[in-house]
Amino acid sequence: MGPFSFPTLPAAKWLGFVTAIWVQATCGNNYTFSNYSDALKSLMALTQLQLNNLSVAKDVGKAFGLLSGLASDRLPTSAILIIGSLEGLIGYGVQWLVVSEKIHPLPYWQMCIFLCMGGNSTTWMNTAVLVTCMRNFPKNRGPVSGILKGYVGLSTAIFTDICTALFSSKPSAFLLILAIVPAVICLTAVLFLHENQPASGPVEDRQETEFFHIFNVLAIAVAVYLLVFDITGNHGHVLSLYFAVGLIFLLALPLAVPLYV
């Protein structure tokens, strides 16, 4: 064992699950097209039909999720996460370059390709975390799937509200976040999300069940927090910043489980 043997500790499996939650909380970018579609439409002088077709190209990317599924049986989790992060970085990075006017708008067919790449990137991230966590917790596949997919559903609100708090819904800033943040989170997960030995006895089984109850409560807390903020109308800049800090704190709370272990 070398000096960096932390992943072999009992808490490693739970730390990997926490990073999986973070990946899921940042990879629902397929559902955020409406946040920047108007900017693309204006800059590229698109008709509504062409804009709709761009959205279709993004969704077609998800249809190639079969590739990540096949790769999950042949490649390590780290490789799948890296592929997803690079694909998202390129796909959304190019869109950011266009919307921020760093480059001239690309031909329509090329934009379709980059939107397809952005859409496909999430399938690699989803597959990596779901497959690995289900292998780590074979007796709790239901809670694992429910919690991780729940955070995917919350990711659009997480991205939108944080971007609104920090950048006043500026489309170029939003796309920059979509390009960078998931990639950084995935590269962090590469360090901690690995296949580990599943629970080996009734004591560990009970502990897993208790911890998943905690994760469920934290996921509900995040959902309620987002809902209350969104239904209470417009907020000032200062209040929005406080909200963003509180949201980041809630997303960090799952770390309490591996720290406890």
Q: How much is the CA Rg of the chain, to the nearest whole Å?
A: 19
List the one residue out of 109, 93, 102, 123 whose CA is nearest residue 30.
123
- Helix or strand (DSSP H, E) at 107: none
Q: Find the mean pLDDT for residues 202-209.
A: 84
Residue 4 lies in a domain: no
Coil, helix or strand for 45?
coil
Would you call 161 helix, strand, or coil by DSSP? Answer: helix
Residue 75 neighbours by CB under 8 Å, 6+ apart:
none
| C-alpha dist (Å) from residue 114 to 55, 98, 181 | 11, 11, 18
Range of the domain at 56: 9-260
Q: Is residue 210 a contact partner of residue 71, using CB atoms and an 8 Å limit?
A: no
On whether residue 221 sits in a domain, the answer given is yes
Q: What is the pTM of this model?
A: 0.89
Does residue 102 lie within any of the structural domains?
yes
Give the closest residue to 211 by CA, choosing from 149, 131, 153, 144.
144
Cα–Cα distance, 62 to 247 (Å, whole number):
28
- Whether 1 is in a domain gets the answer no
Q: DSSP of 192-252, one letter per residue?
A: H----PPP-SHHHHHHHHHHHHHHHHHHHHHHHHHHHHHHT----HHHHHHHHHHHHHHHH
Number of domains the chain contains = 1
More confident residue, 202 or 220: 220
Q: pLDDT confidence of 66, banded at 50, 70, 90?
A: confident
- Rounded to an integer, the average pLDDT of 106-117 is 91
Give domain status of residue 199, yes or no: yes
CATH number assigned to the domain comprising residue 182? 1.20.1250.20
- Which of 178-182, 183-187, 200-204, 239-243 has the weakest average pLDDT? 200-204
Model pLDDT, residue 37: 85
Render pLDDT for 121-167 as a digit per residue (tens, 0 to 9).
999 999 999 999 999 998 888 999 999 999 988 988 888 888 878 77
Q: What does the mean pLDDT of the chain come to?
A: 87
